[in-house]
Amino acid sequence: MAEPILEVSGLVKHYPLTTGILFRKQVGAVKAVDGVDFTLHRGETLGIVGESGCGKSTVARMLVHLERPTAGSIKYRGEDIGKLSGRALKTVRRNIQMVFQDPYTSLNPRMTVGDIIGEPFDIHPEVAPKGDRRRKVQELLDVVGLNPEYINRYPHQFSGGQRQRIGIARGLALRPEVIVADEPVSALDVSVQAQVINLMASLQGEFDLSYVFIAHDLSIVRHISDRVGVMYLGRIVEIGRDAEIYDHPTHPYTQALLSAVPVPDPEAREHRERIILTGDVPSPTNIPSGCRFRTRCWKARERCALEVPPLAVPAEFRFAPGPAAHDSACHFAEEKQVVPPDEHTDGMP
């Protein structure tokens, strides 16, 4: 495994809830992210999956310093970016760029494509001298599969997939080491999703990139990721290599998610157990004690309400190395085959 490039430890983001107009009083907090830990290695793609509202996008925004953590640390090459300022912070932000979810709202409609992709050069002029910027922008357009002659066009003259390519080109402009992709294909048609995912995979090798790839589509994440973290209600509940998570899940929430993955073979579908979760996701303002998944879990016992399960290799797998021996935040973790190993529907060429 290559050296770590990002180290996230105890990451927390709480948004205060207040009451009153003149004398505002805090009455609680929305616990969007409530203790997230992971490491990203050089050249690796870490996929983060989970249902809407679990905190994935908040984590992404903290990684690029668009949101400041309430607690915890984000270390880039050993430096805590939360403690940096001025030129040092500017350098880190140059090396960690973001591709946003919606290609229709993330591009300024009043700016040409050339201005959008070239704007990072205004902030970091050392990357591209003024006389060389047009050539560099055209090179970036060519790299992402767009005609360099489109440099003077506006965003409304492009399709959704082309706009997302423009967003990727903007993210590549400063030659970053890390790209945080926040559901970059969720707003695109399925056929276009495949093209964009394959483009990102090819760019990773060409530019020596590390990705934090956030999505809610399990098949897309498996296609591009080396490791996968599953989030639930502000925390990562299971993390491991893609084959470990998809073929040997040990956390009940991961097992329930994977049991819902479509399987095209009718015979395989008949022999697969479908796990139906009961109840609703608890409010992030009132998180259950102990294990936060216990209110929907069929394994829940008294211990689950009293103790917060650590994100670690379960005791039963600790001395039996194998694909099930990866980190899982469950007191009663056990391996469960929920998706036939040869019947995954990646949906990608």
Q: Tell me the per-residue pLDDT of 262-301, one tens digit each, with 9 for 90 and over.
A: 777 676 666 677 888 888 889 999 999 999 999 999 999 9
The reply to whether 58 falls in a domain is yes
Q: Examine the domain organization and report whether 43 and 167 are in the same domain.
A: yes
Range(s) of the domain holding residue 279 = 246-328
Residue 242: Cβ within 10 Å count: 17
Question: Both 49 and 180 in a single domain?
Answer: yes
Does some domain include residue 264? yes
Same domain, 220 and 283: no
Enter the pTM of the model.
Answer: 0.90
Q: Which of 192, 225, 258 is where one domain is finished? A: 225
Pairing of strands 25-41, 96-99: unpaired
pLDDT score, position 21: 75
Beta carbons within 8 Å of 182's beta carbon, 6+ residues apart: 56, 57, 60, 61, 98, 99, 100, 101, 214
**What span, in angstroms and rounded, lies between the C-alpha atoms of 8 and 272?**
36
Q: Same domain, yes or no, for 50 and 198?
A: yes
Please indicate, yes or no, if residue 235 is contained in any of the structural domains.
no
- Is the residue at 153 inside a domain? yes
For residue 213, the domain's CATH number is 3.40.50.300
Q: Is residue 68 part of a domain?
A: yes
Q: Last residue of a domain, which of 225, 258, 280?
A: 225
Contact (Cβ atoms closer than 8 angstroms) between residue 78 and residue 98: no
In angstroms, the CA 7 to CA 73 distance is: 8
CA distances from residue 342 to 76, 226, 255, 349 in whole angstroms, order as listed = 38, 18, 17, 16
* Radius of gyration of the chain measured on its C-alpha atoms: 21
- Same-domain pairing of 258 and 300: yes
Position 231 in a domain: no
One domain, residues 181 and 129: yes
The answer to whether residue 201 sits within a structural domain is yes
Please indicate, yes or no, if residue 232 is contained in any of the structural domains: no
Query: Are 42 and 152 in a shared domain?
Result: yes
Please check the confidence at residue 342 and state whether its pLDDT lies above 70.
no
Instruction: Encode burial over 14-30: b for 16+ CB neighbours within 10 A, e otherwise.
Output: beeeeeeeeeeeeeebe
Residue ending a domain, choose from 167, 193, 225: 225
pLDDT tens for each residue of 146-196: 999 999 999 999 999 999 999 999 999 999 999 999 999 888 888 899 899
Q: Are residues 180 and 316 in the same domain?
A: no
Query: Which three-class secondary structure state does DSSP give residue 86?
Result: helix
Same structural domain for residues 212 and 251? no
- CB 166, CB 196: distance < 8 Å: no
pLDDT tens-digit series, residues 110-144: 999 999 999 999 999 888 888 889 999 999 999 99
Total structural domains within the chain: 2
- Alpha carbons 284 and 274: distance in angstroms, whole number: 27
Question: Is residue 216 predicted with pLDDT exceeding 90?
Answer: no
Q: Are residues 214 and 263 in the same domain?
A: no
The arithmetic mean of pLDDT across residues 215-219, rounded, is 86
148 plus 279 within the same structural domain:
no
Q: Do both 40 and 188 map to the same domain?
A: yes
